[in-house]
Amino acid sequence: MFRILTIFLLLCAPVLQSCQQHTQEKPLVISSIKPVQALVVAVAGKHAEALELHQLLPDGASPHHYALKPSDLRTLGNASAIFYIGNGLETFLSKPLENLSGNTQVVALVNAADIQHLHSRGGHDEHEAENTEDLHLWLNPQNAIAMSMGIARTLATIDPPHQADYAVNARQLVQRIQAADSHIRQQLEPLRAKPYLAFHDAWQHFDTHYGLAFAGAVTLDVSRLPGARHVHDIRQIIEQQKAVCLLQEPQFPPALVKTLVEGTNIHVGEIDPLGMKLPLDENTYITLLQNAADSFQRCLQ
Ligand SMILES: [Zn+2]
């Protein structure tokens, strides 16, 4: 035992400083959902190795339904910074964030400078009942830009030596988002007049930005399936407004959609607001946005 300890000391003591930096003292940066993690990864860039980046919600989980595990609570307690959208979206975080010690920077990205805010359209969503803002913010690329700048400012405060790198990475990310944005604008321009239905109303920030025609949402309350009356309303919308496309999401069960579209000519497409299968790198957000645009295009054409 003594010998093992001695060997450990011999190996580690001369470099104790760096041993510590690489184990305990690497600041832990937590993102609530994948779109946020995608922006954090891009802003952190190659200096991601100076930070420990952690995405709280596993791929495939919906922020509307998530319940924190005890291990999640421990992880939150160790964080230097926590990025999330806002209390109205990640409702499961409200209490735990109140109970954190003062050493953690908690950043609600809805409060970042230059965010474009929208009221929710339905008003029946559980996450919108207390908060009437539509918090699917990241689906407007302008908001992703505002969030990226906010993330860079926070990373600079928890890792000052790399402040300039985070600023450069954020500027490069902004340029890539702007390029994708103008490409998508051209791509969707011819499809503006065609009404579409969403499974839940996640796409207002996207369809408002690109001028697409939203006709309605299949489910008004993301915790429940719609009742018979609403199903009737949706079928009327499909017929009267001649909605050409219904976009369902991998985070929600597909069975209901089948019933809804039986006997109509509407296209059913799939769209993923959370980018669940995408690998994480500096282009993840761009790919998420471009995939969404491609889903709209395929479904509306
Ligand atoms: Zn949602």
Going from the Cα of 39 to the center of ligand 1, the distance in angstroms, rounded, reads 19
- CA of 198 from ligand 1 middle (Å) equals 11
CATH topology for 15-183 is: Rossmann fold (3.40.50)
Per the CB < 8 A criterion, the answer to whether 110 and 86 are in contact is: yes
User: What residue has token string 């607001």?
Assistant: 273
> How far does the centroid of ligand 1 lie from the alpha carbon of residue 251, in Å?
10
Two structure tokens written together for 34: 């994948």
> What separation in Å is there between the alpha carbon of 293 and the centre of ligand 1?
17
pLDDT at residue 231, as a whole number: 83
Q: Residue 12's pLDDT is what?
A: 45
Give residue 301 CA to ligand 1 midpoint distance, Å.
25
Q: How many angstroms separate the alpha carbon of residue 158 from the centre of ligand 1?
A: 30
- Render the burial of 96-120: b for 16+ CB within 10 Å, e for the rest: eeeeeeeebbbbbbbebeebeebeb
- The rounded Å distance from CA 202 to ligand 1 centre is 5
pLDDT of residue 6: 47
From the CA of 1, how far away is ligand 1's center (Å)? 55
Task: Decide: residue 197, CB within 10 A, 0-12 exposed, 13-18 middle, 19+ buried.
Answer: buried
Report CA(256)–ligand 1 centroid distance (Å): 17
The dihedral sign for the CA sequence 270, 271, 272, 278: positive
Task: Render 152-207 in DSSP notation, one character per residue.
Answer: HHHHHHHSGGGHHHHHHHHHHHHHHHHHHHHHHHHHHGGGTTSEEEEEES--HHHH
Cα(58) to centroid(ligand 1), Å: 16
| pLDDT, position 34 | 98
- CATH dotted code for 190-300: 3.40.50.1980
Q: Which alpha helices (DSSP H) does the chain contain, by range?
A: 2-12, 16-23, 34-44, 70-77, 94-98, 126-129, 141-158, 163-188, 204-210, 228-240, 255-261, 284-300
Distance 64 CA to ligand 1 centre (A): 6
Q: What are the CA-CA distances from residue 203 to residues 94, 212, 241 (Å)?
A: 24, 10, 19
- Gap from CA of 221 to ligand 1 centroid (Å): 10
Residue ranges covered by each domain of the chain:
15-183, 190-300
Distance (angstroms) between ligand 1 centre and the Cα of 148 equals 21
| 75 alpha carbon – ligand 1 mean position (Å) | 24
Chain centroid to Cα 268, Å, comes to 23
How many angstroms is it from 136 CA to the middle of ligand 1? 6
Q: How far is CA 170 from CA 40, 45, 154, 267, in A?
A: 9, 9, 12, 38
Would the pTM count as exceeding 0.85?
yes
Compute the distance from residue 174 Cα to the ligand 1 centre, in Å.
24
Given this chain, do its domains 15-183 and 190-300 carry the same CATH topology?
A: yes
The length of the chain in residues reads 301
Per-residue pLDDT of the chain (301 residues; tens, 9 = 90+): 445 544 444 444 444 444 444 445 799 999 999 999 999 999 999 877 899 999 999 998 989 889 999 999 999 999 999 999 999 999 999 999 998 988 899 999 999 999 999 999 864 444 544 558 999 999 999 999 999 999 999 999 999 999 999 999 999 999 999 999 999 999 999 999 999 999 889 999 999 999 999 999 988 777 677 778 888 888 888 989 889 999 998 877 777 788 888 888 899 999 999 999 999 999 999 999 999 999 999 999 9
What is the Å distance from ligand 1's center to 128 Cα? Answer: 10
| CA 38 – ligand 1 centroid, Å | 18
